[in-house]
């Protein structure tokens, strides 16, 4: 019989489960996190859980903030309430037994179901000194030139509301209260896979504030810090079957378990306007410049994920580790990482890109993690420019071969039909694509997708070579299938 998870049952859990080694009753929230999904709970929440075990760090617990109305938010809020914010994290290693731990750093949770004004008041609490975010790559509404998209219908509507509902509006109104009450600012720390995510966050939040109240926008620009960060850990989506599997293995009855690989990394720009926890004591890398780490991660790990997801789905695979059993896919990734990307990078002194590439492939081979290709391939309109755009542009500018990238994007375009080469369906979701975008992607003109705005700045519009290769691959994939096309590329 499994044990229900709560503060009252921590000492009754199986001895194989690692539990918090600090007194949660003494912990208060100093960090508010917007977007409490699987990745946050498997990554930042774990780092802060370790920090709370250190002397004098009790003020750095997490206040979870749920801003999206709906059934999922209701379920999450209820689960946090029933389990006192606790959840299990199972870390899978390729070589060693899995480690199950209870993470206790989320000590409170406020949901939009309680009213958006309640969220604003909680963020305005003087105890909150950092607001962290995981709102996805496409969630910042920043265009290719770095400008905040004030004309987006969602943003335009939120600007009209007395009580806003977006992350930008909620944070800006909380900062307004803090300014007016003399409390002072907090740091806004983006933890999304976005180039220069600190700059993007500053553009978004200041852009919203300036449109709503220029004086507030000016105050935020002058007083709030927006450090950049690089986050890395593979944390798959959790299905109902995963919940049952994880709970059976742990012996814990957990409503919201998460799982991940055993690797994790967090590089943060050390620029905090209202203090910070002892990040360095638990392995967070504090740097003056995060950009070199960010580029390696986005253009190698995330880009390789993009390649394997679109090519793997086209061939007929559904998980990363299954695709990695195909030597043609492995060879494609090796050529992409070592031949195309690595020579273009200027890595930090402490990063060997060759070793980094080998580690990426090792991580992808983990059968225990079993990451879903559909999860990775979804939201491509937001992800492709971030993960592949710079590499494609630099290859074109250098006059180098772009066959691997053209093939990957041909698979991406063919995947718009949500059916693989074997006729089996899958489900890719594109929340950042309009109906017109999707119509262009599915048009009879095989070159039409290259006219989409997501390709602005890639250099593909002026490259006849890239366009011809892209169209030729699409035709060949339709006639023979991606697996045979890929095999011929490597012959």
Bridge partners for 266 per DSSP? 231
pLDDT band of 126, cuts 50, 70, 90: very high
pLDDT tens digits, 62-94: 999 999 988 889 999 999 999 999 999 999 998
pLDDT tens digits, 317-355: 999 999 999 999 999 999 999 999 999 999 999 999 999
pLDDT in the model for residue 491: 84
165-180: average pLDDT: 98
pLDDT band of 461, cuts 50, 70, 90: confident
Radius of gyration of the chain from its Cα atoms, rounded to whole angstroms = 23
Structure tokens at 250: 């742990």
pLDDT in the model for residue 154: 95
17, 100 Cβ separation under 8 angstroms: yes
Average predicted confidence (pLDDT) for the chain: 96
pLDDT in the model for residue 160: 96
Closest by Cα among 62, 60, 49 to 22: 49
**Whether the predicted model's global pTM rises above the 0.85 cut:** yes
Bridge partners for 3 per DSSP? 252
pLDDT in the model for residue 94: 84
434-447: average pLDDT: 95
pLDDT of 159 higher than 90: yes
pLDDT of 145 higher than 90: no
pLDDT in the model for residue 72: 87
pLDDT of 228 higher than 90: yes
Rounded Cα distance, 370 and 227, in Å: 32
pLDDT of 108 higher than 90: yes
For residue 259, the number of C-alpha atoms closer than 13 Å in the C-beta half-sphere is 27
pLDDT tens digits, 248-275: 999 999 999 999 999 999 999 999 999 9
């Amino acid at each position: 019989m499994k044990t229900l998870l709560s503060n009252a049952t921590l000492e009754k859990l199986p001895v194989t489960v690692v539990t918090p080694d600090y007194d949660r009753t003494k912990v208060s929230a100093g960090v508010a996190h917007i977007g409490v999904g699987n990745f946050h709970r498997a990554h930042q929440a774990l780092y802060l859980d370790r920090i709370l075990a250190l002397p004098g760090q009790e003020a750095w617990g997490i206040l979870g903030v749920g801003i999206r109305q709906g059934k999922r938010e209701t379920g999450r809020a209820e689960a946090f309430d029933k389990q006192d914010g606790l959840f299990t994290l199972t870390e899978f290693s390729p070589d060693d037994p899995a480690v199950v731990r209870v993470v206790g750093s989320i000590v409170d949770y406020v949901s939009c179901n309680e009213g958006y004004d309640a969220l604003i008041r909680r963020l305005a609490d003087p105890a909150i000194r950092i607001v962290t975010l995981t709102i996805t790559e496409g969630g910042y509404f920043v265009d290719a030139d770095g400008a905040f998209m004030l004309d987006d219908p969602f943003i335009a509507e939120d600007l009209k509301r007395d009580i806003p509902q977006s992350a930008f509006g909620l944070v800006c109104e909380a900062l307004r209260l803090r300014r007016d009450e003399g409390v002072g600012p907090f740091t806004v720390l983006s933890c999304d896979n976005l180039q220069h995510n600190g700059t993007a966050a500053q553009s978004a939040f200041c852009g919203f504030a300036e449109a709503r109240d220029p004086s507030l926008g000016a105050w935020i620009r002058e007083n709030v810090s927006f450090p950049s960060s690089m986050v890395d850990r593979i944390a798959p989506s959790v299905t109902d079957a995963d919940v049952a599997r994880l709970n059976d293995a742990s012996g814990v009855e957990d409503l919201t378990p998460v799982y991940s690989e055993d690797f994790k990394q967090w590089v943060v720009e050390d620029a905090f306007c209202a203090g910070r926890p002892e990040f360095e004591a638990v392995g967070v890398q504090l740097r003056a410049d995060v950009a070199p780490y960010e580029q390696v991660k986005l253009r190698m790990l995330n880009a390789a994920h993009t390649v394997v997801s679109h090519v793997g789905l086209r061939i007929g695979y559904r998980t990363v580790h299954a695709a990695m059993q195909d030597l043609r896919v492995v060879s494609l990734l090796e050529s992409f990482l070592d031949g195309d990307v690595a020579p273009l990078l200027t890595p930090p002194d402490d990063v060997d890109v060759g070793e980094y590439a080998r580690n990426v492939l090792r991580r992808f081979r983990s059968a225990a993690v079993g990451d879903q290709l559909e999860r990775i391939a979804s939201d491509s309109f937001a992800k492709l420019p971030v993960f592949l755009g710079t590499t494609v542009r630099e290859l074109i500018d250098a006059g180098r071969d772009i066959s691997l990238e053209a093939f990957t994007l041909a698979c991406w375009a063919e995947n718009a039909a949500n059916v693989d080469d074997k006729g089996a369906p899958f489900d890719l979701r594109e929340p950042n694509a309009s109906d017109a975008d999707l119509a262009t992607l599915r048009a009879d003109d095989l070159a039409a997708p290259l006219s989409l705005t997501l390709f602005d700045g890639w250099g593909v519009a002026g490259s006849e070579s890239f366009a011809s290769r892209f169209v030729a691959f699409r035709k060949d994939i339709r006639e023979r299938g991606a697996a045979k096309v890929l095999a011929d590329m490597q012959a």
